[in-house]
Structure 1
Amino acid sequence: MSSKDKNLLIVRAVTEQGLTHAQAAARYGTSRQWVHTLVLRYQTGGPPALEPRSRAPRTRPGTTSASLRARIITLRGELTAQGADAGPATIAWHLDQEHRRVPSTAT
């Protein structure tokens, strides 16, 4: 049984069979709060609202910008062409000299 089908089954147990949220939670092995959330979603959006939702973050504030990534790649190429060290610490030093945001050396 897919999670959407299970969610719909839980909601119907509450809305059609008259179970309380606590009774439905006990019957289907979930929390009372989750049953409450499902019922609210169903009331506002119908069956499509019971589709599983993404857990991925909506924003990623720590992501390295495209311009900074491009500069790092360019800098690595320039340093390699010169025969210089092109490691993360060296690249971080060069970015700092250019007054750019320096990402973690693990980046």
Structure 2
Amino acid sequence: MTSEFIEREMMLWYVAKIVARLELQGLEADPLTKKNMEKVISSKENGQEKFREIVQICKDKFFEDEADLELKPRFKSHTNGFNKQTTNFEFVPRD
């Protein structure tokens, strides 16, 4: 396997997981997610069918509880990249 193949597969699963969460939340995908969906679907033979299969797998495996659907807060560090501490984070609201 080449690293390019692995990267494409990881992107496919990552986008499928995002789409699965959005569908279960009843939300529409944003333009960037739609663009990424088109990109991963076009790179596969029978891309639409395979993508939908993976989305269903993600729904079944990753989002078994409703608590899994909650958006997790993003974190913002107040230190530079040289001082790796994990205790100085604050919640950053989503726009």
Greater relative CO (CA pairs within 8 A, separation 6+): 2
Name the structure with the higher strand share.
2
TM over 0.5, yes or no? no
TM-score by length of 1: 0.25
TM-score by length of 2: 0.28
